[in-house]
Chain A
Amino acid sequence: MVTKSLYGFILLMVGLMLYSCQPFPKEVKRGMYYWKSNEPSLSQEELGLLQELSVEKLYVKFFEVEPDPVFSAKPISKTRLRPPALNLEVIPTVFIHNEALKDIEAAEIDSLASNIHFLCTKYYHQLFSKISPSFSEIQLDCDWTPTTKDAYFQLIRSLKQQSGKRISCTLRLYPYKYQDQMGVPPVDRVTLMCYSLTNPLAEEAVNSIQDNERLEAYLRPARKYPIPVDIALPLFSWALWYQNNQFAGILRTDLDAFRGILEPIQPMWYQIQEDTMVGASFLRRGDKVKLEEVSQKETLQTLELLKKYVHFNPTSTITLFHLDVQSTNHADTEMLDQYFTAFQQ
């Protein structure tokens, strides 16, 4: 019996080695996103997690850009975070609503790039200078479409030219796969987002945060993206709350706080057993929730798929989304550590 198992294991390993022909990164930088807007400081737990995981790069959402009739585009949800001195690099990250690029005139793109650079620099010096006196990279996050592609790419070029910084951007799986249609952004690096592949409300039986089957469909066949690829993995959970079978909201909270009042009705789906307040939401008995959680086992499988299909440069960054002790759901730091070392195994 033992011999048979061992034989099977060896066969599997040999198979994997033969199949895993993509170059792995020799060095993995450890990154984390910080996406909250209203918090003035990192909590002790968040600081502890950064330290325990030896995070080297913190991508902080500085603000979002949305369309505006007077200013063409304006920043909202601005960061207030003022962290203490930390041994890591802060990368100002800007989320750009695709609508902000829809009707923007060519002449206004340079102005927008200038504004983004101005505000990133201002906030960095105001809030993050304890960490280091300057920054060398700006990351843009945008779900661009074919109609906004030109404006977005022009914005990237303009931002790079005006700031003189390294520019990176996030990359959804769709533009990763369909480069002809979606173009290749003129950035220095892309961060491939390996989560949230579907609309959370679209499919009852699918975990919209983590779905390796769909992920593999996007990654296959193995290829080399024209620009160095980093990756982002999910580190959050949420509950989709339904009253009378109507979607009532997303509960971004510590799911353990109300797990005790849930009765399972089908995979991922639960019924509320007693009236309960979760944050500001009043959950009534009989309401349903869909718990979409990130499984550590599945995340390791995600990493295996990435190893299998993605061509990495010698140095890559793995970034976890996102630093928030409530939604990280008491993640086991030893297990999280494995995400960063998986490519070396």
Chain B
Amino acid sequence: MACGPYYPYGEDVRFSLLDPSLFELNGYEAFIYSANGIPGYEPEAQQLGRAENIELWYQWAECKASKEDIEKAVYQFDEYPDLNEQNNSFLAYLSSKKAARAYLKFAQECSPFNRSLQDPWEREEEDVDSRRQKRIDTAIKRMGEVQDLALKRRYAFLAIRLAYYQGRADLVSSVWNQLFKGQQTKDILYHWSLYFKTELDPIDAQRNLQAAQVFVNAPDKRFKVRLSFDTNVPTDMVMELVENDQDRAAVWLIEGVGKQGKNLDALKEIYRLAPDHPGLEFLLLREVNKLEDWIYTPYYTEFYPAMYPEDRPYPDNTSLMYQRLQGDRAYAKEVLAWVSSVKAKKRPQPLLWQMSKASLLHMTESPAKALKVIKRIEKKGGDDPGVIHWVQQMKALCLIAADKATPASLPAPIRYKLIADQSGFSTQFLFALARTLEFKGNTTDAAVFLSLVNGENAWEEGAVFWKTKQRHQTLYADFYGDYFYYLDAQYTPEQLVAFLEEIEAAKHFQAPFKQWQYDQIKEDLPRLYDLVGTKFLRRDQLEKALFYYEKVPVGFWKEYPFSDYLDRNPFYTNLYNETGYTAADTVIYTKPEIIRLLLAYKKNAADSQEPQQDYYHFLVANCYLNMSYHGNAWLMRRYYWTIANNGKTMLEDDDEYLNATKAKEYYLKAKEVTKSEAFAALCLRMAGRCENYALRNKIIDKEGFYYVNWNQKQEQLLNSNTAYAQLKKEFPQHYDELISNCYSFERYFATYDQE
């Protein structure tokens, strides 16, 4: 289990819209571009390797047995204990082939020994070794005896494989030299045998070349043999040993499939050397996915790419990220130029080339050109639902990106197609759609689509996380996975009001698209009214804040988080209390009630005829202090409280929230208008408390939150506090008591009533 809070990285942030599973991967699926490293799961590759062996048997049996029956007899005999000559055409064919029957039986007996085994009983006896050695000896003996060359090669392969697990490089070499070395027949048996030989060979250029040959020709050994390919061996040395273009292409490929950096050279070379190479399509797909990570991830989410070939860990430097983004777009243009030079129609998977081209055009900010390619893809039709969805998604993104109007909007025909196939959209697409609209000035539609992102699946696999450009940190860290908190951080009150008006109007919409769009949000209306009210409060526009708070049903304020965090009297505080319980907390208020009272108290405070003008100033100051980071009603300004980042959120009222500037202002006003000496002294003490917060924050900014030694700072804090200096100067008789005695507040506050 991880320690500490969750922070997205790797696959959780990698952005991709071109799904590799839409294409034929030719057994290279283990090398799909992924931050999880090489997954090692390669069912297609395994099946391809097996199919080649079945084909060999099929040819050997003069095509007289079905491939299904061969597979059952060779690979699935455990699952079909009733296999016999009557129900299996391959076994029937073998009925007169004694040597082949003996081979199959022997191969099955050898099967448990084809793994690294140690004696689990720890007797340190060489029981397993001796049992395996017996089988190696038998395989070599029969290899020499059997007449049929095909069986001879099969026994040789069995001997090589067993000898590999036995760690007998000498036997592997000798059998290899006898049966396979220099042979023209390079079938799957040849490459399987070469794999085991390669694994035991010393690391050098020859070994890398063999690994490349195995990599291309033995699909089921790809994952493992790639690990044996040593990238420290200079490629030039390997190329010197190569005798043909196919092998040269193989070296480019095995090197390319694991490369984190740019790989266009490999693509070009493979295409030049072996245009029909089945690995070429895969390598192109991998390069497009890589560019999606480099370009889409920072562009849409503001996270660094999930994988980048240099600079780990990434510096916290957004301008560097944007610089790289430009550089990566330039590289995408290079890849695009090469893709455009290849005739897609003549490739085995034309769609892969066309879709790659459209993606690259979109990534390189040429949406209008991308739309033309998409149109061609669409025209050709095809009924693959994955491709149909991709077309709709890319079309929507490109149409908005290409829209010259500001704000951009989503054309109506696209809207209806989107809703018709809503279940097929990826979360990343919906997010990209929202971000594209946002970047093109349509913050209302952006918020609507953002509300559909993650939803109930937030925090689960497939969720999208993103940051604001300003790196707001209104939650425990600087990222978002929920539209509401993003709107809290990013949207202006005006943008939110426009969004709310759209939702309110949407109540009357009958169109299915609108109903779908607003399905999620309409439940959130009270939260959104609260949010917009809070945004106006942050600007101290209290009447507007109240207007929106009053739209919220009363019951809403009784629920979490208000029930837990707005459960204190915001008009009361003392010298030391922040969020703790006080005797005054018998009275609690909802957000609108607080604002109504605050407005009333401010009105009284501003009235010079008001006999308790000083008292009302004091209450207003208390409320502002309590609505700050340091008070019991912080929920008025924020939706999350944390010491992370010292409470800094990058919201527009951070100064007020952290330094309680308005509270100080009102305490000082109270001091100005009061006629009570003791109360005036108390007002200065409270203003000094606010100033103290501001001074502390300055020190933290300078020295860092975790590095300040507060014991050494007490004197500095006291001496630089102007309000305390004023208290000492004007009311020296009260100074010590108010500064040193935490419990003096109640006594001083009580003097107000007495006087």
Contact = CB atoms under 8 A, between A and B. Distances in A.
B112 A115 contact: no
Interface residues of A, number: 13
Given A69-B112, A70-B113, A280 B121 contact: no
Contacts of A74: 120-121
Contacts of B112: 69-70
A122 B119 CA distance: 14
B120 A71 contact: yes
Interface in A88-118: 115, 118
A75 B120 CA distance: 6
Contact of B122 (A69, A76, A119, A277): A119
A118 B123 contact: yes
Contact of A119 (B1, B113, B121): B121
A71 B121 contact: yes
Nearest to A112: B121
A115 B123 contact: yes
Interface string A6-22: 00000000000000000
Nearest to A71: B120
B650 interface: no
A70 B128 contact: yes
Contacts of A70: 112-113, 117, 128, 131
A90 B1 CA distance: 34
A122 B122 contact: yes
A115 B128 contact: no
Interface string A71-95: 1001110000000000000000000
Which of B113, B117, B122, B128 gathers the greatest number of chain A CB atoms within 10 Å?
B122
Interface residues of B, number: 11
Contacts of B123: 115, 118
A243 to B, nearest CB: 14
Given A69-B112, A70-B112, A280-B1, A115 B117 contact: no
Interface string B353-377: 0000000000000000000000000
Contacts of B128: 70-71
B636 to A, nearest CB: 26
Contacts of A277: 1
A107 B119 CA distance: 19
B113 A118 contact: no
Contacts of B1: 277, 280
Interface string B101-133: 000000000001100010111110000100100
B117 A118 contact: no
A165 B1 CA distance: 44
Contacts of A119: 121-122
Provide the main secondary structure of the chain B interface.
loop
Contacts of A75: 120-121
Contacts of B117: 70
Contacts of B113: 70
Contacts of B122: 118-119, 122
A76 B122 CA distance: 12
A247 to B, nearest CB: 22
Nearest to B117: A70
Interface in A115-146: 115, 118-119, 122
A74 B112 CA distance: 14
Nearest to B132: A70
B655 to A, nearest CB: 36
A63 to B, nearest CB: 9
B270 to A, nearest CB: 43
Nearest to B131: A70
A115 B123 CA distance: 8
A75 B119 CA distance: 10
Interface in B285-338: none
Interface string B133-159: 000000000000000000000000000
A257 to B, nearest CB: 14
A69 B123 CA distance: 18
Contacts of B131: 70
A280 B2 CA distance: 11
A68 B121 CA distance: 12
Contacts of B119: 71
A115 B1 CA distance: 38
B436 to A, nearest CB: 33
A103 to B, nearest CB: 13
Interface string B1-30: 100000000000000000000000000000
A69 B112 CA distance: 7
Contacts of A76: 120
A82 to B, nearest CB: 16
Nearest to B128: A70
A302 B563 CA distance: 49
Which of A71, A76, A277 gathers the greatest number of chain B CB atoms within 10 Å?
A71
A138 to B, nearest CB: 15
A277 B113 CA distance: 42
Interface string B495-528: 0000000000000000000000000000000000
A306 to B, nearest CB: 38
A275 to B, nearest CB: 10
Which of B120, B123, B131 gathers the greatest number of chain A CB atoms within 10 Å?
B120
Nearest to B120: A74
Interface in A57-75: 68-71, 74-75
Nearest to A279: B1
Nearest to A115: B121
A345 to B, nearest CB: 46
Nearest to B121: A115
B264 to A, nearest CB: 43
A115 B119 CA distance: 11
A75 B131 CA distance: 19
A221 B33 CA distance: 69
Nearest to B119: A71
Interface string B371-414: 00000000000000000000000000000000000000000000
Contacts of A115: 121, 123
A148 B123 CA distance: 26
Interface in A273-331: 277, 280
A47 to B, nearest CB: 26
A77 to B, nearest CB: 11
Nearest to B113: A70
A340 B117 CA distance: 46
Contacts of B120: 68, 71, 74-76
A336 B204 CA distance: 67
A184 B117 CA distance: 37
A73 to B, nearest CB: 9
A82 B1 CA distance: 26
A68 B127 CA distance: 15
A75 B123 CA distance: 12
A280 B122 CA distance: 32
B727 to A, nearest CB: 48
Nearest to A123: B122
B753 to A, nearest CB: 45
A260 B113 CA distance: 52
B602 to A, nearest CB: 40
A70 B119 CA distance: 10
Interface of B: 1, 112-113, 117, 119-123, 128, 131
10 contacts: A70-B113, A71-B121, A74-B121, A75-B120, A75-B121, A115-B121, A118-B121, A118-B122, A119-B121, A122-B122
Given A70-B112, A118-B121, 13 more contacts: A69-B112, A70-B113, A70-B117, A70-B128, A71-B120, A71-B128, A74-B121, A76-B120, A115-B121, A115-B123, A119-B122, A277-B1, A280-B1
Closest A-B pairs by Cβ, 7 of them? A74-B120, A115-B121, A69-B112, A70-B112, A75-B120, A119-B121, A118-B123
